Amino acid sequence: MICINCCRETDCLYVEYSNNHIRLTDCTDCHDVVDQYVEIDNVLLFIDLLLLKPGAYRHLVYNSLELELSKFPDEAAFESAPKHEGMATSVQESNNGKIGRVRRIGRWGRRLRNWFVKFDKLNRIWVIITAFEVYLTWVSEERKFQENGSDALVASMLSQGALGQYMCFAVYCAIDFMVLHNTTYCLLVALFNWGSKIKYAKYVVSYTVLLSYGAKIYPILMLIWPYDTLLTTGILKIVANLYVVEALKIVTNQSYAAIISLFSLVFLIRSLTVKPLVSLVVTKGDVMLSWQYARAEYHQVWHKLINPLFSS
């Protein structure tokens, strides 16, 4: 847990007395209250998130997340426990393979259930944002295709039935999220050596990206009101990306230049990997056809990068 003002580590956010009265802890470094959001209502917290208040982000992704995850056994302890069980069962497995397999499946089932319980809050936010994102991606890709009709992969996705199309765009968004979260975390570690002293560093990055990515669902309002022009959609996309950049800057304490270069690198990696991976799923593993789609995508990315340089 940290002080949301100066980011200094702290042992506790408040002290609870026997009459359910709590006293907020003061920071030893900046002498301010370490986390006043402990007492603030969720509605006000949500408004502060929209206003990109640094304290609101730090409260949620550091303090609130750590309090939530600390209710469950540590992953290392959880992983070490089944090792003894595994050694014991290995003897039984040699005697009776069937019982060993059943126990192994049971163990994996328990781990999966524990994971879902532990990360319930993150998973709920992920599902809500993905559901909106699938619909928005579907609409925007369909419109783009109707305007220029040059994307062979999107043509193949749109040639399927309604359920097939939804599943294709759901896979597209899931892969996109996976690449975005993992690439951002890996680059933060590799380029800035960030997170070595943070207990849940990977989940801190995931939570930050999820919270700031919420701004990307604003365009859902454009489908209700008649303002869905290319200009307004473009402006909203830029605003959503600025939210992600600002949120990552608040949480990681890196400079704007560092976060913008990291985000540009993430954008390039996403452009080069997401559609080829989706094409492998859409073509049901047809490598040759996927390679054709990927080549067309690389061609488009190359033109998007090169054209502005020569036209300026």
Q: Is 24 in the site for Zn ion (CB under 5 A)?
A: no
Minimum CB–partner distance for residue 211 and Zn ion (Å): 22
Q: Is 12 in the site for Zn ion (CB under 5 A)?
A: no
Taking the C-alpha atoms of residue 67 and residue 147, their distance in angstroms, rounded to an integer, is 49
Give the one residue of 2, 13, 27, 153 binding Zn ion; rule: CB under 5 A.
Answer: 27
Minimum CB–partner distance for residue 1 and Zn ion (Å): 12
Site string for Zn ion, 121-150 (x = CB under 5 A): ------------------------------
Give the one residue of 2, 3, 65, 250 binding Zn ion; rule: CB under 5 A.
Answer: 3
Candidates 22-30, 82-90, 203-211, 257-265; binding stretch for Zn ion (CB under 5 A): 22-30
Give 30 or 131: the residue with its C-beta nearer to Zn ion.
30
Candidates 5-13, 78-86, 93-101, 129-137; binding stretch for Zn ion (CB under 5 A): 5-13
Taking the C-alpha atoms of residue 25 and residue 281, their distance in angstroms, rounded to an integer, is 52
Q: Which residues contact 194 (CB under 8 A, 6 or more apart)?
A: 188, 201, 252, 254
- Core vs surface per residue 191-205: b (16+ CB within 10 A) or e: eeebbeebebbebbb
Residue 257: burial class (beta carbons within 10 Å; 0-12, 13-18, 19+)? exposed
Minimum CB–partner distance for residue 9 and Zn ion (Å): 10
Closest CA to 204 of 51, 17, 59: 59
And the tokens for 132? 């909106």
Give the one residue of 14, 24, 29, 93 binding Zn ion; rule: CB under 5 A.
Answer: 29
DSSP string computed for 101-134: HHHHHHHHHHHHHHHHHHTHHHHHHHHHHHHHHH
Which residues bind to Zn ion, rule: CB under 5 A? 3, 5-6, 8, 27, 29-30
